Amino acid sequence: MTQPSNTPDATTSMHTAEAPFVDIRGLTVTFTAGRKPVRAVDGVDLQVKRGEVVALIGESGSGKSVTLRSLLRLHTPRHTKMGGQMRVGEHDVLALSPSALADYRGRVASMIFQEPLLALDPVYPVGAQIVESIRRHENVSAAQAQQRALELFERVRIPSPERRLQAYPHEMSGGMRQRAMIALALACRPQLLLADEPTTALDATVQIQILLLLRELQRDLGLAVVFVTHDIGAAVEVADRIAVMYAGRIVEEGPARTLIREPRHPYTLALLKSRAHGALAKGSRLETIGGAPPDLSALPPGCAFAERCAWAQDGCRQSAPEPVLLAPGHQARCFRTDATKATAPTVPTPAPH
């Protein structure tokens, strides 16, 4: 049974009957701990509907992880300045008081991380951590919470779940730990799941298992998911929509299929072209992006990608481009989308099955 393909009508932009579950407008995040303030996120607009999976793709310094963590307000308040507006459901995330924030985390939105060993407490069995989380948010007895934990473990397909509930994190293998972390994240039935590179550290065969599990859980529970990764392949496996980030901004956003087949932003094009894949001729060189990412404490006035862009013109360096609507649900921040239209990216061959 294949996924229904994403027709242009099915995706929406801001003017829709159903309000998005996650609505981020003009988010800015500046870190003030160092000598110069670092603008990690520079005006991000993102909407996620209920039951939708959005992947945030980018490289180091793009701001994708910072954006994700802002949704749970995980940055140290003293050294972080956040601006803009973030709504999740009916919560105004930036305005939550500390106690409201503690209720919001885990209950409304929850997160899974790249390295479970760092996210799970090493001195408690995994089952105990799940029970603790459930009882923090809901008024249930220990026995009921224990039962819920068991059900969660079964849900995430951990074999011998009763036994594993008593296990400590270090006693579990990598894939199982990741599943345990997913179980912990889903313990209080959140409506939004945030995933920060959850499969990056996993072996290929385990990665595909976890990606499929996430898709299945998301479908069954109707979760909204924001999935951050640098691996485009993983994003394509799970996401309905993909947003590409560069230097703290979303530079292109659209349905997964459109973005992969018809990317229009020069950075997206370059990123797809520089991937090593089977269709390349042996001995040929990869097409790389010259230059280096910009210094986030000294962003240029114009488009942040201009100095590395093959299509850049003078106008690009003077003012930052606003999003251009290319098709319903597909937009790119670029002045030169007409020029990039003509370029066909290399279509990668599907993996042998």
Partner 1 sequence: MNMLNITVDPRKVPEVAFERSPGYWQTVGGRLLRDKVAMGAALVVLGLLVLAVFGPMLAPADPYKASMLSRLKPIGFEGHPLGTDELGRDLLSRLMVGTRLSLFMGITPVVCAFFLGSLIGIVAGFAGGPLNTALMRTIDVFYAFPSVLLAIALSGALGAGITNSLISLTVVFIPPIARVAESVTTQIRGRDFVEAARASGAGAFTIVRVHVLGNVLGPIFVYATSLIAVSMILASGLSFLGLGVKPPEPEWGLMLNTLRTAIYTQPAIAALPGVMIFVTSIAFNLLSDGLRSAMEIKS
Partner 2 sequence: MSSASTLLEVRGLVKHFPLKKDMLGRGGGVVRAVDGVDFTVRAGETLGVVGESGCGKSTTARLLMNLIAPDRGDIIFDGAAVGGRDLSLKAFRRQAQMVFQDSYASLNPRLTIEDSIAFAPQVHGLPYQQAVERARDLLARVGLEPRRFAERYPHELSGGQRQRVNIARALALQPRLVILDEAVSALDKSVEAQVLNLLLDLKDEFGLTYVFISHDLNVVRYMSDRVMVMYLGQVVEVGEAEALFEAPRHPYTRALLSSIPSMDPDRRTEVPPLAGDPPNPINPPSGCRFHTRCSQAQPVCAQRVPTLTTGGGSHPVACLMFEPGSGHTAAPASVPAASLATEGA
In degrees, rounded to 5, the angle at the alpha carbon of residue 62 between the alpha carbons of residues 20 and 234 is 70
Closest CB 35 distance from partner 1, rounded Å: 11
**DSSP string of 286-307, one letter each residue:** PP---S-PPPTTS--SS-TTGG
Cβ-contact 211, 53 below 8 angstroms = no
Q: Residue 295, interface with partner 2 (CB under 8 A)?
A: no
* Closest among 304, 325, 328 to 316, alpha carbons compared: 304
State residue 206 phi and psi, 5-degree precision: -80, -35
Residue with token string 């280096």: 292
Residue type, 160: S
| Among partner 2, partner 1, none, residue 200 binds (CB under 5-8 Å by kind) | none
Interface region with partner 2, contact rule CB under 8 A, candidates 7-15, 22-30, 217-225, 228-236: 228-236
Question: What whole-number distance in Å separates Cα of residue 215 and Cα of residue 57?
Answer: 18
| Among partner 1, partner 2, none, residue 162 binds (CB under 5-8 Å by kind) | none
Q: Residue 327, interface with partner 2 (CB under 8 A)?
A: no
Cβ-contact 312, 303 below 8 angstroms = yes
Q: Residue 76, interface with partner 2 (CB under 8 A)?
A: no
Q: Residue 160, interface with partner 2 (CB under 8 A)?
A: no
Q: Residue 1, interface with partner 2 (CB under 8 A)?
A: yes
Question: What whole-number distance in Å separates Cα of residue 335 and Cα of residue 347?
Answer: 25
Q: Residue 173, interface with partner 2 (CB under 8 A)?
A: yes
Q: Residue 204, interface with partner 2 (CB under 8 A)?
A: yes
Q: Residue 257, interface with partner 2 (CB under 8 A)?
A: yes
Helix (H, G, I), strand (E, B) or coil at 228: strand
Residues 284-303 that bind partner 1 (CB under 8 A): 288, 290-292
Q: Report the interface residues with partner 2, using CB under 8 A.
A: 1-3, 5-6, 59-60, 159, 173-176, 203-209, 211-212, 230-234, 236-237, 255-257, 260, 270-271, 274-278, 280, 282-283, 285-289, 292, 348, 350-353
Q: Report the interface residues with partner 1, using CB under 8 A.
A: 288, 290-292
